[in-house]
Amino acid sequence: MNLPFNYRHLHYFWVVVKEGGIARAAERLGMAVQTVSGQVRELEGALGFALFKSSGRSLELTEAGQEAFRHADAIFQLGTQLAASVREVATSTSRRFAVGITNGLPKAAVERLLEPVARVPGVHLQAWEYGFHDMLAALALHRLDLVLADRAAPANPNLKVFNHHLGEASIRWYATPALKASTSARFPECLGELPLLLPTPDMALRERIGLWFERQSIRPNVIGEFADSGMIATFGAYGMGAFPATGWSHADLTRRQGLKLLGRSPEVSEQIYAISAERKIEDPLIRTLLMQKVVQ
């Protein structure tokens, strides 16, 4: 495949911007000013847009130049980390296994899935939590080995990732004893009287709960929204509101935290997917994890 431009030209452009001028860039690169200037012009010709515009005695980036620099900076910043990363991997006696985890997944289920992998000798487990789509991009770039999520990755021809359904758990509703005693309504009607803590709208479970509320003709009084299932349970234990959780957390919520079960909504379930960058799984650690089916 023919590249639309020369990456060396892109590197000279990047150095010019970082150094604040062609003369200083030429000094850093150990090249003639005319050579650096010519390389930048060749890059502009390959891209079809001017990257700099005159601003007095200094150079100023055009909008196209700003966009080009953003991409170049990401490329070469990553390049500067290459040697350190290779050295770390080559000299390490352990195998790094990096897993991205969406915030909404119950921690008890995640622990159950990762525990067999963490017990493998020589494995250095890394768990990351950040945006779902950012994690998919990191997976596609092999910065993550696997993503555990509350939803399947959407079809995207530009993002080659594959979904593996690991299980599901129906939702139950919990509250403190005092909050439960504050209503005489039976479940699920009591959810229309009690203050509620729910997942944020961007979480997959929130949409399923909303549809269930509509079918039950419940108008929820939502006083708190959280992007982390653990935070929902923490504030629920303080008595802030009733909240949903999966059966994986039942023993901890009722025995250790003293919460009361309000009722079950089996029509609503939390899904768990493992998302990989390859359809045919060759990595033994990923195969080990995919064998851990979780149903509650």
pLDDT digits (tens, 9 = 90+) for 267-291: 999 989 999 987 777 788 888 888 8
Q: Is the pLDDT of residue 98 over 60?
A: yes
Q: Higher model confidence: residue 247 or residue 94?
A: 247
Domain 95-167+273-291 and domain 168-269, same fold? Reply is yes
Task: Among 1.10.10.10, 3.50.30.30, 3.40.50.1950, 1.10.287.540, name the CATH number for the domain at 7-90.
Answer: 1.10.10.10
Q: Is the pLDDT of residue 86 over 70?
A: no
Residue 1, pLDDT score: 37
Angle of helix 7-19 versus helix 33-47 axis, rounded to 10: 120
Least confident of 71-85, 230-244, 269-283: 71-85
Residue 2, pLDDT score: 46
DSSP H stretches of helix in the chain: 7-19, 22-29, 33-47, 63-80, 82-91, 107-118, 132-140, 177-181, 204-215, 229-237, 250-251, 284-290
> pTM above 0.95?
no
- Domain 168-269 of CATH type 3.40.50.2000: no
Residue 145, pLDDT score: 92
Average pLDDT for 88-108: 77
Q: What's the pLDDT band for 184 if we cut at 50, 70, 90?
A: very high
Residue 285, pLDDT score: 87
Q: Is the pLDDT of residue 295 over 60?
A: no
Average pLDDT for 56-80: 82
Q: Is the pLDDT of residue 197 over 90?
A: yes
Residue 284, pLDDT score: 86
pLDDT digits (tens, 9 = 90+) for 112-145: 889 888 888 888 899 988 888 889 988 988 889 9
Domain ranges of the chain: 7-90, 95-167+273-291, 168-269
Task: Among 1.10.730.10, 3.40.190.10, 1.10.600.10, 3.40.50.300, name the CATH number for the domain at 95-167+273-291.
Answer: 3.40.190.10
| CA gap 269, 271 in Å, rounded | 6
Q: Is the pLDDT of residue 70 over 80?
A: yes
Q: Is the pLDDT of residue 44 over 70?
A: yes
Q: Higher model confidence: residue 171 or residue 3?
A: 171
Share of residues in the chain with pLDDT > 90 (%): 34
| Burial letters 5-25, b for 16+ CB under 10 A, else e | beeebbbbbbbbbebeebeeb
Token pair 């994690």 in the structure block, residue = 135
Q: Is the pLDDT of residue 294 over 70?
A: no
Residue 112, pLDDT score: 85
Average pLDDT, the chain: 86
Q: Contact at 8 Å (CB) between 248 and 169?
A: yes
Q: What's the pLDDT band for 5 if we cut at 50, 70, 90?
A: low
Sort strands 260-276 and 146-149 into parallel, antiparallel or unpaired.
Answer: antiparallel
Q: Is the pLDDT of residue 208 over 70?
A: yes
Q: Is the pLDDT of residue 58 over 80?
A: no
